[in-house]
Chains A and B, each alone.
Chain A
């Protein structure tokens, strides 16, 4: 590295942007060390021998004339055991290590490797000496956390070779655990591997998603499901519950690995995750959620350029676990703050702005990011698959969805969970507006739902949605001419819609039982609400008064269904179904 080291001089400093001359020979996106304080930066523009550099740390006190040294490598993350359970900043410095080094406040010029160099891991080989391996093949395992087996891969781009030596034992991340004999000589594999963040990790090919990511959130799983390997966005004004939804997904989604990126958001929210996740138990594994979670936190007051990098850092880590064959879900809260960082840097580069001052390449950058998600056929032998789902929160100014970040995002993602201020004000949570949200995976996932949840599940969902649509139209009439103008049938529809809203769509994230709802229970609640609706409609036909139907005791039990514990649910479900049947008979006698 030393021979191609390039040293230039700063000619201009303007906030996070530094311009340096004498940088001929350095490449785009190379990491450089800036100034006497050795701040970390990245080359983002080259003109003759001057380079524009975005600096990942506060630049106050830096001035023209100070040196800039190129490291000759692009911004990369360290991949290997030790990622799980960690909290990193936007350029993968572990925040706990920074706290040990510098105290409670983050000061400048600190350097900390992403992975612990001292810790020893127990490596168990899964290939034998003499075996031929190539990029992407698994050569062994490390138990990284009680629920995650870290699969050690032959790094992408390594030459084909045969295993020359490999052994079980305790290794640090920098020890060679395996030596390959290749055409170009011996190749050592360590537990630690590096990958440039702005480059997607290679896969053999992408596959269409076919399985839902189960989140335990009724409105999401039943109405607007996201597929494993899918993309979704959650736009909403402040106070509408974006972060709570992201946290709920991070807690309950049935992915094997969760990468949570706090991008330009509140410090206390990350603290909340740090305190809560080790306590919460994953319903899938029975172990604390932190044992499958990786956090990237670049809060709003941390340097803006590192915020730009944070989502790349996060998704590269996520891809790495996908390459092991895991189902990975990534949450980015919020992509708007990332776009703002992009805008700030672009403004300082004096680029011609697009809409609202955002750079013209905002859309393509967003697409590049979301396209790194997907279900993929992995490189390496064995035809393994992995999936990476990406869910981004969007914070549109003033809740106005016509702004550029929301619009560019909507062109790419397949699921839109639109948060509604009015629902939030009425304390209806999650405040996902069922009338304008959509999931383009719904049809593709229907066969799965028919098979595993219930043959009639997609039809029930469509019927419920139709009732909710009709409610909207009916309420319009009520607003104009009053409730009296409606027929009993129409009022029954309003009542059912209300029940759907309050007993099904409403879900309390803070209620011990309600916070997670299994597929079976979602199916059950939907079924009893619709059963009651059909029964009620039938009774109306027979001349029973609407008031009589609405006074039926069973409605209270339907209303309480969402807080019935999962283990008691099957019994309660049978009993409610039977009771609905009974009441209908009783009234017609």
Chain B
């Protein structure tokens, strides 16, 4: 039985100071029992001789200095895992909330994890078919990648993430992904949307869900994604499963981080976020990947809402520096009724080159990707010009490109929330669209691919 201290001297924000303590360790798990018998948890942020600074996950409201008792548990925050964890729903602190029994642990794992040795990593290269054309063709996701969705308030990121979770398969194999879902400070409705969607397709049986809702303790959010990833690592690298981790919304996470930092009176970096936010976010995002000689993998899709749709805001900015690309949603496309409103000009998948091509997707994939993004950009330029000078001022060629851009958005990017396109279907739509353009403008397609895939009799010759 660990010693109990009743020596809290200071409570401020999510932090308490406990004095006259001994044998306290950095990062140690702490239990605080309030006067009315409630037990809360926290962790040691600073351990000095005689005093400890403790961060409470559940917040400090209702805590008093006199009657609260503090116990230092001598271990770090751990989560019990076993194969039975699949199909379960937990709160943000790892307690089951689906009415089921507690997990009988196979193991207890430290939620901070250890960094993967770069030498042991295997380079991600297996294409994941999400069934969404704007991702599969233009920004392909591969197994072991971390590819965030940069969204904005009111954009349909939740639908997209749920659709990916439902549809994702690795080409050539039929084994579905296990999904680990971490809800960070999102509303009940949003969390419920995901749960309902998982339930409807039976995906919940191979999912593990952690929910820290908007009205749950803010500081708990710092632990929630780590719990989710610890479970993901267990499933992937010990049970050999392919795991898709969805974390939403990382903006709420970063805000919790800022709250703790402000309470500690640390020197802030940009916009009040702590200077170590890059390192902290990296300790989450870098827990994706593949390992040599192990069958499993962790693919991460963190979702964040960009404050004011600004991608230079510290949260998307630091995320973009760590993750392997980003899917950026566009308010403009969303307004014109396009789903999913993926802005392919600014979205990027850094690992695409090794995941596509013959034997992985199809030989023409790289050609189609480059050519479509090139001509779509030209179409968008023409559209801008039309806004300034009027459509009448456009050349014939510009008009063709403008029509192409409209058509591309309507039939290629746009698709149903339940429409699951194979990569072949996606590429064929791309070829069909390109057949609307004069062939002389399609410089990035190889002749062999044109001969094989271009719909016959449609490609008009050079326009004059």
A98 touches B27 (CB 8 A): no
**How many angstroms between the C-alpha atoms of A237 and B373 in the bound complex?**
21
Q: Contacts A300-B322, A301-B115, A340-B275: A427 and B373 contacting too (C-beta < 8 A)?
A: yes
B419: min CB distance to chain A, Å:
28
Stretch of B6-14, B43-51, B201-209, B215-223 lying at the A interface: B43-51
| A61 CB contact (under 8 Å) in B28, B117, B121 | B28
| A267 CB contact (under 8 Å) in B121, B275, B348, B373 | B121
Q: Contacts A95-B117, A239-B320: A58 and B49 contacting too (C-beta < 8 A)?
A: no
Q: Note all chain A residues with C-beta closer than 8 A to B47.
A: 12-14, 62-64
Q: Note all chain B residues with C-beta closer than 8 A to A302.
A: 115
Q: Note all chain A residues with C-beta closer than 8 A to B24.
A: 63-64
A397 touches B115 (CB 8 A): no
Stretch of B151-159, B181-189, B265-273 lying at the A interface: B265-273
**How many angstroms between the C-alpha atoms of A304 and B237 in the bound complex?**
25
A61 touches B25 (CB 8 A): yes
B361-394 vs A, Cβ < 8 Å mask (1 yes, 0 no): 0000000000001100100000000000100000
Q: Note all chain A residues with C-beta closer than 8 A to B289.
A: 267-268
A95 touches B118 (CB 8 A): yes
Q: Note all chain B residues with C-beta closer than 8 A to A272.
A: 123
| A87 CB contact (under 8 Å) in B25, B119, B321, B325 | B119
Q: Note all chain A residues with C-beta closer than 8 A to B325.
A: 239
B118 touches A87 (CB 8 A): yes
Q: Contacts A267-B286, A353-B267: A300 and B117 contacting too (C-beta < 8 A)?
A: no
A422-441 vs B, Cβ < 8 Å mask (1 yes, 0 no): 00011100000000000000
Any A CB within 8 A of the CB of B287: yes
B26 touches A60 (CB 8 A): yes
Q: Note all chain B residues with C-beta closer than 8 A to A58.
A: 112, 114
A300 touches B112 (CB 8 A): no
A107 touches B114 (CB 8 A): yes
A45: min CB distance to chain B, Å:
16
Q: Note all chain B residues with C-beta closer than 8 A to A60.
A: 25-28, 76, 110, 112
Any A CB within 8 A of the CB of B449: no
Any B CB within 8 A of the CB of A464: no
Any B CB within 8 A of the CB of A146: no
B27 touches A268 (CB 8 A): no
Any A CB within 8 A of the CB of B346: yes
Q: Contacts A344-B275, A482-B389: A99 and B123 contacting too (C-beta < 8 A)?
A: no
A61 touches B76 (CB 8 A): yes
**How many angstroms between the C-alpha atoms of A15 and B260 in the bound complex?**
14
Q: Note all chain B residues with C-beta closer than 8 A to A61.
A: 25-28, 76
| Residue of B50, B118, B275, B291 most packed against chain A (CB within 10 A) | B118
**How many angstroms between the C-alpha atoms of A536 and B291 in the bound complex?**
58
B window 255-302: CB within 8 A of A: 266-270, 275-276, 278-279, 282-283, 286-287, 289, 291-292, 294
A356 touches B269 (CB 8 A): yes
Any B CB within 8 A of the CB of A567: no
**How many angstroms between the C-alpha atoms of A447 and B374 in the bound complex?**
41
B23 touches A63 (CB 8 A): yes
A238 touches B317 (CB 8 A): yes
A312: min CB distance to chain B, Å:
19
**Residue on B with the closest CB to A273?**
B118
B283 touches A13 (CB 8 A): no
**Residue on B with the closest CB to A270?**
B118
A401: min CB distance to chain B, Å:
12
Any B CB within 8 A of the CB of A534: no
**How many angstroms between the C-alpha atoms of A105 and B230 in the bound complex?**
13
B395-438 vs A, Cβ < 8 Å mask (1 yes, 0 no): 00000000000000000000000000000000000000000000
**How many angstroms between the C-alpha atoms of A304 and B351 in the bound complex?**
26
A window 562-588: CB within 8 A of B: none
A460: min CB distance to chain B, Å:
27
**How many angstroms between the C-alpha atoms of A266 and B292 in the bound complex?**
17
A301 touches B282 (CB 8 A): yes
Any B CB within 8 A of the CB of A343: yes
B266 touches A347 (CB 8 A): yes
**Residue on A with the closest CB to B114?**
A105
**How many angstroms between the C-alpha atoms of A237 and B320 in the bound complex?**
9
B316-352 vs A, Cβ < 8 Å mask (1 yes, 0 no): 0110111011100000000000000000011010010
Any A CB within 8 A of the CB of B307: no
A13 touches B46 (CB 8 A): yes
Any A CB within 8 A of the CB of B353: yes
**How many angstroms between the C-alpha atoms of A171 and B172 in the bound complex?**
52
Q: Note all chain B residues with C-beta closer than 8 A to A208.
A: none
B window 121-138: CB within 8 A of A: 121-124
A344 touches B46 (CB 8 A): no
Q: Contacts A267-B289, A510-B353: A14 and B279 contacting too (C-beta < 8 A)?
A: no
Q: Note all chain A residues with C-beta closer than 8 A to B200.
A: none
B window 39-66: CB within 8 A of A: 45-50
Any A CB within 8 A of the CB of B314: yes
Q: Note all chain B residues with C-beta closer than 8 A to A266.
A: 286, 322, 324
List residues of A whose CB falls within 8 A of some B CB: 11-15, 19, 58-65, 87, 95-96, 98-99, 102-107, 237-239, 262, 264, 266-268, 270-272, 274-275, 297, 299-302, 304, 337, 340-341, 343-344, 347, 353, 356-357, 395, 397-400, 425-427, 482, 510
Q: Report, nearest first, the 4 A-B pairs whose CB atoms are least far apart.
A: A60-B27, A398-B312, A300-B282, A63-B25
